[in-house]
Amino acid sequence: MNNTPVSVKICGLTHASDVAAAARAGAAYGGFVFFARSPRNLTLEAAAALAAEAPLGLAKVALTVNADDAFLDALVARVPLDMLQLHGSEPPARVAQVKARYGLPVMKAVGVGDADDLPKLDSYMAVADQILVDAKPPKGADLPGGNGLAFDWRLIAGRRWPVPWMLAGGLTPDTVAQAVAMTGARQVDVSSGVESAPGTKDAALIAQFVAAAQDRVPTL
Ligand SMILES: O=C(O)c1ccccc1N[C@@H]1O[C@H](COP(=O)(O)O)[C@@H](O)[C@H]1O
């Protein structure tokens, strides 16, 4: 039995109050989204201002989707970051390139819809610092993540990988405890499940989510 509390990432922070709510609730990571079609999309300037508000203990993660070097160069120069999250179709070689170029830990997201998607996770073990096991977006979806959709957690029940991994996809304060129990995840990531509307974070839901993930009473 593992007594270390589950680490939580709150993704899609867009206001200083979101950063404060995530930190107050006990989240370990805060995510900033850089994807134009997302309701959580940030400019570099807005992200730099939010990053300045993040206390020690809240790791600042930048989520990008198939970003090129020019964008990543500007991002890393402008925003103090602790990790890059690659949420597009970046192949293992691109993950290795990004890791070498910026010297930041890289988390690679992989969408899971059915058992056929699981081998893809293995292809990133040698190059990524962490893996994000997310729900595969529906065909034709506008966003490659952040859709509030879960996958069948039984697909990964009892699975272990040689690098740290996070569970994501449609998690909510009501479902996260069951997701953790079924999968054995020690890290979870949420965006839509702690929002009152797309792109609008709710401090009470954030507190409830982190507490539920860690099996304790919320810190409000
Ligand atoms: O949140 C977004 O807008 C987003 C945009 C593009 C790629 C990924 C995005 N979010 C990530 O998706 C998962 C699951 O989100 P949800 O909890 O189902 O809404 C999570 O890792 C977010 O970081």
What's the ipTM? Answer: 0.97
CA distance 86 to 64: 5
- pLDDT grade for 87, boundaries at 50, 70 and 90: very high
Per-residue pLDDT at 75 exceeds 90: yes
Q: Which of 18, 134, 142, 215 is catalytic?
A: 134
pLDDT score for 1: 55
The mean pLDDT value for 85-102 works out to 98
Q: What is the mean pLDDT of residues 42-62?
A: 97
Question: What pTM was computed for the model?
Answer: 0.96
For residue 215, indicate whether it is catalytic.
no
Element (H, E) at 44: helix 44-53
pLDDT value of residue 107: 98
Mean pLDDT of the chain: 96
190 CA → ligand 1 middle, Å: 7
User: In this predicted structure, which of 102-106, 131-135, 136-140 has the lowest mean pLDDT?
Assistant: 136-140
55 C-alpha to ligand 1 centroid (Å) = 23
- pLDDT per residue as tens digits for the range 157-198: 989 999 999 999 999 999 999 999 999 999 999 999 999 999
Mean pLDDT of 70-82: 98
Question: Three-state SS string across 150-170, please?
Answer: CCCHHHHCCCCCCCCEEECCC
CA of 44 to the centre of ligand 1 (A): 18
Q: What are residue 207's phi and psi, to 5 degrees?
A: -60, -45
Strand 130-135 and strand 165-167: pairing?
parallel
Return the pLDDT at 4.
Answer: 87
pLDDT of residue 150: 96
Range list of H helices, 54-123: 69-78, 92-102, 118-122
pLDDT value, residue 220: 64
Nearest-atom index, ligand 1, CA of 170:
18
Q: Please state the atom number of ligand 1 nearest to the C-alpha of residue 11.
A: 23
Active site residue 11: yes
CATH architecture for the domain at 7-213? Alpha-Beta Barrel (3.20)
- Work out the pLDDT band at 3, boundaries 50, 70, 90: confident
pLDDT for 218 beyond 90: no
